[in-house]
Amino acid sequence: MATVQAAKDTAFAPVEDSPELARALADANVPTLLATYVYLSHDTAFLERFAAHIRPAFSQPPTDIPTALADELRLRLRRLLTTGEGVATASDALVQRIMSVTVGEPVDDEFIELVNDQCGFRPWIDRSAIPGRAPRPAGFKVLVIGAGMTGMAAATKLREAGYDFVVIEKNSDVGGTWYENRYPGVGVDTPSHFYSFSWEIWPDWQHYHPKGADMQTYMLTVADKYDLRRDMRFDTTVETLVWDDASATWTVTVRRPDGTREDLVVNAVINGHGPVNRYKFPDIAGLDSFDGPVVHTANWPANLDLAGKRVAVIGTGASAAQLVGAIAPEVAELTVYQRTRHWVLFNPEIAHEVSDGMKWALAHIPTFKEWFRFRVYWAAADGLFANVLQDPAWADNMLAVSQGNEMTRQYALSYLQQKFADRPDLIEKLTPDFPIFSKRIILDNGWLDALARPNVHLEDQGIAQILPNGIEARDGSVFECDVIVCATGFNVAQMVGNLTIKGADGRDLGQEWGAEDPRSYLGMCIPGFPNYFHTVGPNSAPNHAAGQNLISEVQVNWIIEALDCMTDNGARAFEVTQDAFDAWNRKVDARMPQMIWTHPRANSYYNNSKGRVFLSWPWRLVDFFNETRRPESGSYTLHR
């Protein structure tokens, strides 16, 4: 079984005193400089001088650090970096105090292991470095479906663990979502410096929130650095998976690039095809009758030119908001068809480029990038978790679920009102009537400014039908257009997608889950489907905030622990028990009434048609991390 790795040695060669260092210290985030300095120097007395000046991320203002104190910090850190004097390995107690002071609120003991692992201080495990680790059984092979973030994580860690494996990818290269989504304005809600692998914290991001192309560049860079493509087959599609109990193997039928089919026999399957992989068009009468192009944001034509065109966009979710902000200045006319209002948050960093000084600090100042990653994780993920917990005292409130949630709602509402001070019609059309965070929020990056443009119209009366020359709204008005863009999301609930998956005794996973009611154990395992691991599965999405990268990593960790448990014990198959599966789902179901997603006015793609929240993980990321260190004894059966 895995064991926690020893702490990294924080000793380093002195940094040259240079204009680049001076610029980096001037540009860099001050709380992160403080964390770096105290982590290296152990100067706790200096740390405490900042405690009263740093508050939680959404406080106004979050910091009021005196200029003289910040300048003293820069001077002390510059001296330490250029001399290397006094540097030593920090204790967990010191790390915890640094975390608490620099984010302006207590950070409990339970976060220590997650931060050490996810921020690169002390990886949870490097299986290639375990003394005396036995080779994996000859002939034992794992097949991974998909070369997106989860598939790339699986490839990296399977190789590190010594497993023979192959990754099957339907596209022509790695990247998954970021290979496929190329519409104008495509970007990432999660901040760049967290939405990446913990073992490859990148200092070269161009923006604090990456554009889609930036994200794909990162994925390509990782694939090159770790030589991942040598174990991948591209332009190849998985069609069926059939379990054979006698041989304890899966027969996986794939379609090759030339259209022919091939059967691959493997011992285990890790399905990393993801829930946001199968885009859907809206069910609107007449859509097929439109004379011009009808495109989906997730399948954007490379040669589509919208300049000077009349464009209709159906949808007002995250993809639509990004697209509209990007194309509004160049199109002749644009009508956006809104079915659902969404809360919009303003984060000034979303459009900010990372300065040269900040990039230098991330690349050259020891532990700075690790501490910056922690700060981003806290502000964009678990530090926001209180927003999605229902306070029983607010049970009858239709607009908020707690005092903190109401404060966030008021922040978003005031921003909307400020943006449209002279457009009460847009305030009325855009103000949601449900609690903020009960559905996916939009980070504003030009969306609201675009809606205020004279060539943009927001239609909230609904669509009656699509005509050959345009769209007729329910009030009878017609917008004649040249192009229709559907920003209408994905078929998230049908998690099996187009696959046929048949387990023990011919059980069909697609039939068992149906169109919208998937259930699993920890978002990965289903009784009756030995050695099959469905990543990013039911109730494993971190819908309180950022963190899909962490979910991918920790599920891969748990899966490899399961494979190790099986192979170390001479077994042929690992299967979660029905009792463990049932108990886990009862636990999830009991938790959901406490969460914002079950609020009477919460209805999103997190829920199925019966209202069950099938997608969301109802705890924090740290809880997912702690649940996935290794399979719990008694939760599984080993078949020999």
Alpha-carbon distance of 581 to 598, in angstroms, equals 22
Alpha-carbon distance of 161 to 2, in angstroms, equals 10
Side chain identity at 580, as an amino acid letter? A
CB 490 within 8 A of CB 277: yes
Task: Tell whether the model's pLDDT for residue 3 goes beyond 60.
Answer: no
Alpha-carbon distance of 156 to 510, in angstroms, equals 29
Element (H, E) at 314: strand 310-314
β partners of residue 269: 143, 532
| Local confidence band at 438 (pLDDT 50, 70, 90 cut-offs) | very high
Domains and CATH numbers, the chain: 19-126+354-383 (no CATH), 136-278+492-639 (3.50.50.60), 287-350+392-486 (3.50.50.60)
> Which tokens sit at 359?
């990039």
Q: What percent of the chain has pLDDT over 90?
A: 90
| Local confidence band at 58 (pLDDT 50, 70, 90 cut-offs) | confident
What is the pTM (predicted TM-score) of this model? 0.95
Task: Tell whether the model's pLDDT for residue 139 goes beyond 80.
Answer: yes
**CB-based burial, 6-23: b 16+ in 10 Å, e otherwise:** eeeeeeeeebeeeebbeb
| Local confidence band at 10 (pLDDT 50, 70, 90 cut-offs) | low
Alpha-carbon distance of 69 to 75, in angstroms, equals 10
Side chain identity at 529, as an amino acid letter? F
| Local confidence band at 321 (pLDDT 50, 70, 90 cut-offs) | very high
The residue whose two tokens read 């964009």 is 380
For residue 90, the model assigns a pLDDT of 83
For residue 11, the model assigns a pLDDT of 64
The torsion defined by the Cα of 466, 469, 473 and 479, in degrees rounded to 10, comes to 150
Taking only the tens place, the pLDDT of each residue in 379-418 is: 889 988 999 999 999 999 999 999 999 999 999 999 999 9
β partners of residue 242: 251, 502
For residue 533, the model assigns a pLDDT of 98
Q: Mean pLDDT throughout 46-72?
A: 93
Element (H, E) at 217: helix 212-225
Alpha-carbon distance of 232 to 236, in angstroms, equals 10
Alpha-carbon distance of 156 to 222, in angstroms, equals 10
| Local confidence band at 61 (pLDDT 50, 70, 90 cut-offs) | confident
For residue 276, the model assigns a pLDDT of 83
For residue 4, the model assigns a pLDDT of 38
Taking only the tens place, the pLDDT of each residue in 105-137 is: 999 999 999 999 999 999 998 999 999 999 999
For residue 88, the model assigns a pLDDT of 67
Taking only the tens place, the pLDDT of each residue in 441-497 is: 999 989 999 999 999 999 999 999 999 999 999 999 999 999 999 999 999 999 999
Phi, psi of 603 (to 5 degrees): -150, 105
DSSP string across 540-585: -B-TTSS-HHHHHHHHHHHHHHHHHHHHHTT-SEEEE-HHHHHHHH
Side chain identity at 539, as an amino acid letter? N
Side chain identity at 87, as an amino acid letter? V
The residue whose two tokens read 């054979």 is 244
> Which tokens sit at 261?
């089919």
The residue whose two tokens read 């300065």 is 355
Q: Which of 578, 579, 583, 585 minimizes the C-alpha distance to 530?
A: 578
Q: Which of 168, 195, 378 minimizes the C-alpha distance to 256?
A: 168
Tell me the longest C-alpha to C-alpha distance in the chain.
76
For residue 189, the model assigns a pLDDT of 86
Task: Tell whether the model's pLDDT for residue 349 goes beyond 90.
Answer: no
Q: Which of 206, 204, 210 minimizes the C-alpha distance to 187?
A: 210
Residue 528 backbone class (left: φ over 0; alpha: ψ -120 to 50; beta: rest): left
> Which tokens sit at 51?
């405690």
Q: Which of 576, 572, 640 minimizes the C-alpha distance to 266?
A: 572
Cα dihedral across residues 265, 268, 270, 271: positive or negative: positive
* SS3 call for 551: helix
Alpha-carbon distance of 273 to 453, in angstroms, equals 39
For residue 2, the model assigns a pLDDT of 43
For residue 1, the model assigns a pLDDT of 40
| Local confidence band at 84 (pLDDT 50, 70, 90 cut-offs) | confident
Alpha-carbon distance of 622 to 384, in angstroms, equals 13
**C-alpha dist (Å) from residue 348 to 27, 353, 514:** 16, 11, 42
Q: Other C-beta atoms within 10 Å of 474: how many? A: 11
Task: Tell whether the model's pLDDT for residue 619 goes beyond 80.
Answer: yes
The torsion defined by the Cα of 488, 492, 493 and 497, in degrees rounded to 10, comes to 110
> Which tokens sit at 500?
């046929």
The residue whose two tokens read 């990056």 is 445
Taking only the tens place, the pLDDT of each residue in 529-551 is: 999 999 999 999 999 988 999 99
